[in-house]
Amino acid sequence: MGHFLHAVGVFFHHLAAVKWEFLGYAVACHVIKLVFRAGAWRAIISAAYPDADLRFRSAFGAYVAGVGVNSVVPARGGDLVKLYLVKHRVPESTYSTLTPTLIVETLFDFVTAGAIIVWAMATGVLPTHKLYSRIPTVDWKFFLRHEHFTAIALGIVLLGAVVAFFWVRSQVDEFRARVRQGFSILEDRPRFLRSVILPQSVSWVFRIASLYFFLKAFGVDATIHNALLAQVVDSLATLFPATPGGAGTKQGLTEFLFRGRGVSHTLLLAFSVGMNITIVVVNLLLGLAAIGLMAKTLSFKRIRRASRAEEQPA
């Protein structure tokens, strides 16, 4: 965390050098990316509930609300917000059906991000035997040093798993049917390609374009190659969800992947922190606006309690 705070200081020191026009382009591309991704998720939900009339604005609101919460809460806590908000816009929907829609929504991302990481490994940019030792900001020994906390947490997880197992076992047929319903769009390949893969492909174009403009905004050599490197950083940071929005982790990865490219240490820090702060702020503003309009509250805890009180949230 000390490394991240130092990086924030470097960012504010270089704030006057930021090219605001390109920063605006980067933010615009980022928001457009979210629009296409929300559209793809809406198509997945509509396939699971063909009789429901889920409006795009409702799907977009739920989606950006989840993205906003994920920006400040680690371990994908925003996904719960997505499900809660969209459940109240789809009559008679269940969590056991809506949850698989999030899995379907990430399938193309998994393949695309994986391909980019394979490219980085094949070109020697990402030597895996050195990667973990060069990430200075995430202390994975926390759980070993706090063995009592770890034991309690594992006990709670184990108890929850046992309860879930017996509950699912008692309602296995109904549960399977509901889960399968969430994957309905995969049974219609033309619709899946047209309504999910196509908009997500477009969203990836805007994702890379956003990274390209962030590079230009902070004075780093803006090329497609470097934009792809920045995407590798973002993809790898999701593997270390110990900090909100990947704070700290992304800075270590950026320094590592951009090594030997003639970019100064301070400039890389300014770029990485500046991009991270900008995206978090944009996501948070969009998310808070969506939550306020759709849930009539800005309390994540209240939403979490309400979702748990829902009937049979599988």
pTM of the model: 0.81
**Percentage of residues in the chain having pLDDT higher than 90:** 52
264 CB contacts (<8 Å, ≥6 apart)?
A: none
d(CA 142, CA 313): 32
Mean predicted confidence (pLDDT) in 266-293: 92
Which one has a higher pLDDT value, 310 or 30?
30
Report pLDDT digits (tens) over 56-115.
999 999 999 999 999 888 767 889 999 999 999 999 999 999 999 999 999 999 999 999
Report pLDDT digits (tens) over 148-186.
666 677 778 888 777 776 666 666 677 788 999 999 999
pLDDT at 138: 46
Return the closest-CA partner of residue 34 out of 9, 4, 11, 63: 63
The answer, yes or no, to whether residue 137 has pLDDT greater than 50, is: no
pLDDT at 140: 45
Mean predicted confidence (pLDDT) in 214-236: 93
Q: Which structure tokens are listed for 4?
A: 């991240």
Report pLDDT digits (tens) over 70-86.
988 876 788 999 999 99
